[in-house]
Amino acid sequence: MAGRPHHPRRGRRRERRQQHPSRLLQADAPVHRQRPPLRGRPAPPPRLPHGHVPPGPPGADRHRQDHSRPPPARPLCPAYRRPDRRRPSAPRAPAGAGGFVPCLPRPCRRRGRHPHPRVLRHQHRRLRLSQGARRPHRPGHRGRLARPPPRTARPGDLQRVRGRRPCRLRHGTDRRDPAPMTQPALDLETAAGTLGTWLGEADRVLITAGAGLSAAAGYDYGDEDRFRELFPALHRLGLRSRYMVGVPLPPELWWGYWAVHIDDIRFSAEPNPLYQQLRSLVGDKDHWVMTSNVDALFARSGFDPDRIFTPQGDYGRYQCTTPCTPTTFDSRPVVARLLATYDRATGAVTGPLPRCPNCGGEVEINVRIGPEFVDDPYLPAGRRLQDWLGSAADARLLILEFGAGFNTPGVIRWPGENLTRGLPHARLVRVNPTHPETPDDLAGRTLSVPAGAGHLLNALTVPHPAPDPTVAP
């Protein structure tokens, strides 16, 4: 009976199986395994035991390798190493070492995958793709390890973290699984009427504000036209907004930016009309302000400075970078001195840079950027606000939240929701054109206004004419 016809690819598969690490690493396997010759191929040369030097020409002994000590065993080849960058095979272990230290076969050329995925997964957990280990390139294929493009963070349940994919928030302080959100519909007149009713019934008012309120007042950090007008040199460098945290700039350019930016936002003398509208809306109600803004627009527009809590700092103060002292210093004279030496063409200051009055070291603006932030000047106001809220357990508290999104939700947005949950008679009004959603568990005690603060305040302050009964609707 004729035997089965020989398939040319079957021999290569058999050879690959015999080279599998699960066979080569067996303790009872022979050290030097001689494979039978494949059909149609010449027999491979015999393998020489470790330490044996093949005969060579006379005088070649000084070039021979010293095998008196066994070579150190090295790990398996890194996963997904490109075939043209494979290292030479490791030297073979001595006869008493229990087997070879193998080198994995090169990746499959047909699919760009490794023939031993189980070993690769094990190597992934151990090596985590070390420097130089790469998956072979496949045109039009991103690969299993490639990161998909980030999606837009949905309000309330996702958070963007340093350019990574949006991930669900974990349990813990300010990182929790959010409650389901209610999507509001825009009806400005109805919202203004509800807010007016709630404001009249409230005993106390807590105003919380984020960057959206300052943007509605005309201080939009993302306004490219305003940035080009104030910082032409930085605009030529490719910068487009005032969100400059982490931008590597020389100190002369940094302090030139701070001087112009702080002078434009913090030290303007006139009050802001939008903030004045808000102050008129509150009237004589017992109120407090908590804001993440550092521009002092509340204090400059008629609000009591002793009833304003700014946990993120103040542009009007600067501190030691170390810091060497919990004291902060007035930044107005520093800004005036920097503006006197500011060159608009280059965007840099030419005079001496500010130094710490206490230790002579470097200084920075007193805003919360890192762990070196000095918050001692703001803690007394925070304690007074805590005492005020502690005495409002039985009072009807109205929380007016303006422009608090998801850049720093643990400062304004989530504390307002938790405060509404904790106080049985509290109500929350969320005014935000992009993220006005409110938790479902607070239904009936929240009001979502998907509009800017200016539109809502105008609807509240401008009287609407009564309908004419003689005109048919």
In a domain, 365, yes or no: yes
Q: How far apart are CA 448 and CA 437, in angstroms?
A: 6
Number of domains within the chain: 1
DSSP codes joined into one string, 291-351: ES--S-HHHHTT--GGGEE-TTEEEEEEEESS-S-S--EE-HHHHHHHHHTEETTTTEE-S
Of 251, 246, 227, the closest CA to residue 238 belongs to 227
- 159 strand-pairing partners: 167
For the annotated binding site for Zn(2+), the residues are 320, 324, 356, 359
Backbone angles phi, psi at 397, to 5 degrees: -95, 135
Unique residue bearing structure tokens 């070196």: 372
- The better pLDDT of the pair 82, 276 is held by 276
Burial of 102 (0-12, 13-18, 19+ CB in 10 A): middle
For the annotated binding site, the residues are 320, 324, 356, 359
Q: How far apart are CA 329 and CA 308, in angstroms?
A: 19
| pLDDT at 99 > cutoff 70 | no
pLDDT tens profile 149-182: 444 434 443 333 334 444 443 434 444 445 566 6
> Would residue 172 be called left, alpha or beta, if left means φ above 0 and alpha means ψ between -120 and 50 degrees?
left
pLDDT tens profile 410-451: 999 999 999 999 999 999 999 999 999 999 999 999 999 999
Q: Look at the alpha carbons of 174, 178, 182, 186 in this order and tell me if their dihedral is positive or negative.
A: positive
Q: Residue 311 sits in a domain of what CATH number?
A: 3.40.50.1220
* Confidence at 264, pLDDT banded by 50, 70, 90: very high
In a domain, 171, yes or no: no
In a domain, 7, yes or no: no
* Confidence at 393, pLDDT banded by 50, 70, 90: confident
In a domain, 34, yes or no: no
In a domain, 419, yes or no: yes
Q: Which domain holds residue 359?
A: 187-459
Q: How far is CA 64 from CA 46, 94, 95, in A?
A: 20, 17, 20
In a domain, 304, yes or no: yes
> What are the structure tokens assigned to 465, written together?
């004419």
Q: Angle at Cα 208 formed by Cα 300 and Cα 317, nearest 5°?
A: 45
In a domain, 437, yes or no: yes
